Amino acid sequence: MSLDREELLSTAADVLTRRPTSSMDDIAKAARISRATLHRHFAGRDALIRALEQLGLARLDAALDAARIDEGDAAEAVRRVIAEAEPHAGFLGFLVTENQLFEPGEQNEGWTRIDARIGALFQRGQHEGAFRIDLTPAWLTEALYALVTAAAWAVQDGRVAARDAVRMTAELLLGGARRSSER
């Protein structure tokens, strides 16, 4: 069986997002490889975590680029962000939970950049009058992360159809974020 490094990291992200204390053995088992094979790719857990972080940030940056977040209506841009981020929900969930390991003020530069890009989108929507101003852009950003991740888990568990996840996530988020006249 050919082992694709990105596929292995994707599996590891899914495992660690759902069970952050998972061992290297748990990750190897989920990836259907031996622990020795996993260690040939990553010298230890720290190396695996750093590789996950690097790939996850790159994928999310690419998803934001593909979503064209600076173009058009802010609500439609949020819908595009959700659609583009959904395939990378495992990485997003991992990055959100992994970020909690840092001390205040020690957030990864790439993660800070992603937060800023999404926060700027929500801020733009507030300035345009589309989004509520009593909810901070930071809170709306966190809500987006949580909903995209939760939708992926619901799909993974068979509680939500994959074809409905993006639409339901967008409707729930935007339903709460829009100004009352927009609802």
Supply the pLDDT for residue 103: 54
Kindly indicate the confidence band of residue 6, based on its pLDDT and cuts at 50, 70 and 90. Answer: confident
The pTM of the full predicted model, rounded to 2 decimals, is 0.84
How far, in Å, CA of 167 to CA of 12, rounded?
26
User: What pLDDT, on a 0 to 100 scale, did the predictor assign at position 142?
Assistant: 93
pLDDT tens for 78-121 read 999 999 999 988 888 888 877 555 555 666 788 889 999 999 99
Tokens for 22, please give them.
């998972």
pLDDT of residue 82: 97
In this model, does residue 44 exceed pLDDT 50?
A: yes
